[in-house]
Amino acid sequence: MLGSRLGTDSDGVVSDSAGADDLLASRTNLEGLAPVLDAIPAGVLLVGRDERVLYATPKAVAILGSSRPELEGQPLERVLAALSELTSTPPDASTGQRFALKGKKGNVIGFRIGAVSPEMTTASGPAYTILFQDITAVEKLREERNQLLRLAAVGEILPAVLHEIKNPLAAITTAVEVLFEEVAENHIRRELSAVLGEVRRIKLALEGIGIFRQELHSVRRSAVDRALREAFLVIEPQMKAKGIRGTLNVPDLPLLPLDSAVVRAFLFNLVTNSIHACEPGDSIDVTVSLPRGGDLEMVVRDSGCGMTPEVLSRCQELFFTTKSNGSGIGLALCTSVAESAGGRIAVESAPGAGTTVKVVLPLLAPRPSPAAP
């Protein structure tokens, strides 16, 4: 039986197409084949020598998101892709399955191609069998696995890299600050001011990247309001250079039991994302508040391009980005740090309506859950 010869591997994708070829070699009546082909758990297309689809099983119709009349009699290139393109797609090394074929519904299709025995091929009969399955869920799991492996690699390397960079960066900052105070008001002083601004921006960027290695809460209280004002002054020239109006509204706050470097990293990552989403003439407004007896709140609102519902639903995923040179880690790391500290991040956005990100950071660390008996 064809169904018993056609199996699936551990990923749930087609793993053997020999059964279809064997059956085609022994039967010449397509109507007789139909019930058996329809019972196969994968989609099946029978394709003639002219590369037109002769028969599509119900499973194939469902996977491709088309009706049978839209498939049968049509050139294969309109249904899936040209045969030359399908055969040139490199197979997966472990399963032999061919991947990276996008369906009409945006799903990922894994497929195999089998040739019918030459002696059974006629001008009107099938010459190829194509067996395929929707492997979108499998590909998503593989992508998530790869993301975790990438993050683990970053976590192993990043602390050492940051340590090696921060020390010389601190020395450069001190040297430039001393020179800035000693030189007279001339072009050298202006150049030193520009260098100092860039060095401080690098320091902020490093804090933004290293945020996931730090704890939000601290036994030492810090001036979070001053740290945020200083960080905004470092970022502001980047906004002005792009023609973006930026405002920061931070009240005078008491010393808080939070690591000011981590709070600065929140501001840097969120405002940097807004800068990338804005065009000249847009605005970015940052508001920080501490309701009486409540948590520290930071709201970053921009009038940029906004996000589609699809992008909004994924914007907090690690490594997800719509920018060609983006890393996709800033917002994801902020979300992870906020949630691990008992806080939360909420994002609202719509195309053409800008984006608003609200961060809520509790002043007290969450209590650990009691151990199970």
Do residue 100 and residue 203 come from a single domain?
no
Handedness of CA 4, 5, 6, 11 (dihedral sign): positive
DSSP string, 217-232: EEEEEE-HHHHHHHHH
Do residue 163 and residue 274 come from a single domain?
yes
Last residue of a domain, one of 82, 117, 134: 134
Distances (CA, A) of 257 to 314, 359, 361, 362: 32, 17, 11, 10
Do residue 124 and residue 253 come from a single domain?
no
Do residue 99 and residue 57 come from a single domain?
yes
Give 285: exposed, middle or buried? Use CB within 10 Å, 0-12, 13-18, 19+. Answer: middle
Quick check: is 209 in a domain? yes
Q: Supply the pLDDT for residue 360.
A: 94
Burial string for 179-211 (b: 16+ CB within 10 Å, else e) reads: ebeeeeeeeeeeebeeebbebbbbbbbbbbbbb
Q: Supply the pLDDT for residue 328.
A: 66
Q: Supply the pLDDT for residue 123.
A: 57
Q: Of 358, 44, 334, 302, which Cα lies nearest the Cα of 212?
A: 334
DSSP string, 245-257: EEEEE------EE
3-state secondary structure string across 263-285: HHHHHHHHHHHHHHHCCCCCEEE
Do residue 86 and residue 45 come from a single domain?
yes
Q: Return the bridge partners of 285, or none.
A: 247, 301
CATH of the domain at 172: 3.30.565.10
Q: Return the bridge partners of 238, or none.
A: none
Q: Return the bridge partners of 284, or none.
A: 246, 302
Number of independent structural domains in the chain:
2
Q: Supply the pLDDT for residue 10.
A: 41
Tens of pLDDT along the chain (373 residues) come to 333 333 334 444 444 444 444 434 434 456 667 788 888 888 888 888 888 888 889 998 888 888 888 888 889 888 888 888 877 766 665 555 555 556 566 777 888 887 776 655 555 667 888 888 888 787 777 777 776 676 666 666 666 666 677 778 788 888 888 888 888 777 787 788 888 878 877 777 776 665 656 788 888 999 999 989 988 988 898 899 999 999 999 999 999 999 888 898 899 889 989 999 999 999 999 999 998 878 999 999 999 999 999 889 888 887 777 776 666 677 888 888 888 889 999 999 999 999 999 999 999 887 765 554 5
Do residue 172 and residue 284 come from a single domain?
yes
Last residue of a domain, one of 134, 159, 190: 134
Burial string for 42-64 (b: 16+ CB within 10 Å, else e) reads: bbbbbbbeebebbbbbebbbebb
Q: Supply the pLDDT for residue 140.
A: 76
Do residue 210 and residue 118 come from a single domain?
no
Q: Of 137, 113, 105, 154, which Cα lies nearest the Cα of 16?
A: 113
Q: Supply the pLDDT for residue 240.
A: 92
Q: Supply the pLDDT for residue 19.
A: 40
Do residue 352 and residue 301 come from a single domain?
yes
pTM: 0.56
Do residue 121 and residue 160 come from a single domain?
no
Do residue 279 and residue 231 come from a single domain?
yes
Q: Which residue segment(s) compose the domain that 94 sits in?
A: 2-134
Residues 6+ away with beta carbon under 8 Å from 225: 250, 251, 252, 253, 288
Quick check: is 343 in a domain? yes
Distances (CA, A) of 233 to 51, 289, 296: 64, 19, 21
Quote the tokens at residue 305.
Answer: 């391009």
Last residue of a domain, one of 69, 102, 134: 134
Q: Supply the pLDDT for residue 115.
A: 77
Q: Of 198, 261, 255, 186, which Cα lies nearest the Cα of 228?
A: 261
Q: Are 199 and 233 in contact (CB under 8 A)?
A: no
Quote the tokens at residue 126.
Answer: 């099938």
